Amino acid sequence: MVSVLIAFTIISILILSSIMPYYSLKAQEEFAETEFEEEGKPQLFDSNLKIATIAGGLSTPTTMAFVGPGDILVLEKDTGMVKRIVNGKVLAKPVLDVNVANSIERCMCGIAVSKDSSTTYVFIYYTEIDGKDGDDKAGKQPIGNRVYRYELSGDVLTNPLLLMDLPASPGPRHNGGDIIIGPDNNLYVSIGDVDGSFKGSATETKAQNYEDGVDPDGRAGILRITQEGQPTDGILGDSIPLRIYYAYGIRNSFGMDFDPLSGNLWNTENGPGNGDEINLVLPGFNSGWQQVQGLAALEDSFSESDLLDFDGKGHYSDPELVWANTAGPTAVKFLESTELGTTYENDMFVGDVHNGRIYHFDLSPDRKDLILPQALSLRVIEKPSSPGVSSIVFGEGFGGITDLEMGPDGNLYVVSIGLGSIFQISQAS
């Protein structure tokens, strides 16, 4: 199987280039990326809408997916568990419990659900370890960042099929992990540079825009495969793993979604304490890391010629919005629904982990730009209280948002890692 070839190729590169992570002062400063807002009372700024708590008492929940109406699967970052919530009740026994490396941003990271006429498939991205949960904190190295496909049978996930085996070293940051099913029915997987930039030649790749870097190894990109683990048509090249890159130059991304009207992919990206981004991700998109983070014009001595384009197949473009000081943007969700009112139909919602905020954006008629207030016409948010920011804040106080999803009922659902809860946003009436 080609999926086995993908796994073998990337494992081989990982074995050859793995090094023990060391933590420079810069890396210690970047630890702020994973600090979550733990206090807050969720509130919305539209009086026509209300908030309800669907489930609480979860242990650091990261992402969720709907199996059906009132039926949710949610990942817990550190426990290795996938919990099932049915009509607001968390089932006592998890549907899956695996051994997870959980130091800093290693985790149970992403989940997606797909159904055919007879089977419910559940795709899960997590940092697997041969040992107990969290053994990596004592120095044991993870096996890898892995994507499995399971089948839901009753209240159990069965028949695991390894689809992707990606590097988890040097780590432990920048694992990304968001996964979604695209409109083409393929699986899209987001992974960061796994803390590999500036760590030395063995961990710096051409996918991170290092001209003298090693060949891409699956890191620093948005990857695309079929639901069976096969590569699709290559955008940047025909060899594995370059063939599975949909986008590259990704430092660390926790959210992406497809616009239901244009079919275009959008994502968020976290910078090193500055330059958080919202991006329009067209095929072959180069986000610019490590040469540029945020708007290229604000980078000293930057030239687009410094970026790798893989024989003209890749292309750089500036973000559509930048936070000058980190907000930790995470989930992106388009609300393909009128349940919250026609005002929000097909609009974009973005969550952040540092402020517990949800942002709301209308898009331009061609669906390639965000419609921003005049005060944000330069596409830069200097600080949370900057002029114009209040007009795009939809809600706040959600205690560190890690996921946004639209339910089968058309309402918006919010996962708070800081509050250990899932909330529903619906019409007040």
CATH number at 122 reads 2.120.10.30
Contact between residue 125 and residue 188 where contact means Cβ atoms under 8 Å apart: no
Mean pLDDT (the chain) is 91
Any domain includes 226: yes
Poorest-confidence range of 28-42, 217-231, 289-303?
28-42
Any domain includes 261: yes
Q: Taking the CB of residue 118, how many other CB atoms lie within 10 A of it?
A: 6
- Which residues constitute the domain of residue 212? 2-18+42-427
Q: How many whole angstroms separate alpha carbon 155 and alpha carbon 161?
A: 18
Contact between residue 402 and residue 416 where contact means Cβ atoms under 8 Å apart: yes
Any domain includes 185: yes
Q: What pLDDT was estimated at residue 40? A: 61
* Residue closest to 256 by CA, chosen among 265, 245, 246, 243: 265
> What does the block give as tokens for 13?
């590169």
Q: What digits encode the pLDDT tens for the residues 292-317?
A: 999 999 988 888 889 999 999 999 99
Q: What pLDDT was estimated at residue 29? A: 35
Any domain includes 26: no
Where are the strands (E) in 37-143, listed by range? 43-44, 49-55, 61-68, 71-76, 81-86, 89-90, 96-97, 108-115, 120-128
**C-alpha distance from residue 229 to each of 9, 15, 101, 189 (Å):** 14, 22, 23, 12
Count of structural domains, the chain: 1
Q: Name the pLDDT band for 3 (thresholds 50, 70, 90).
A: very low
Residue 39 has pLDDT above 60, yes or no: no
* Residue closest to 209 by CA, chosen among 238, 231, 235, 236: 236
Any domain includes 30: no
Strand partners, 145: 127, 166
Any domain includes 32: no
CA 381 to the chain's CA centroid: 21
pTM greater than 0.85? yes
Any domain includes 35: no
* Residue closest to 399 by CA, chosen among 328, 326, 332, 325: 328
Q: How many whole angstroms separate alpha carbon 314 and alpha carbon 283?
A: 8
Helix/strand/coil for 413:
strand
Any domain includes 82: yes
* Sheet with 245-248, edge to edge strand ranges: 179-181, 187-191, 221-225, 245-248, 285-286, 315-316
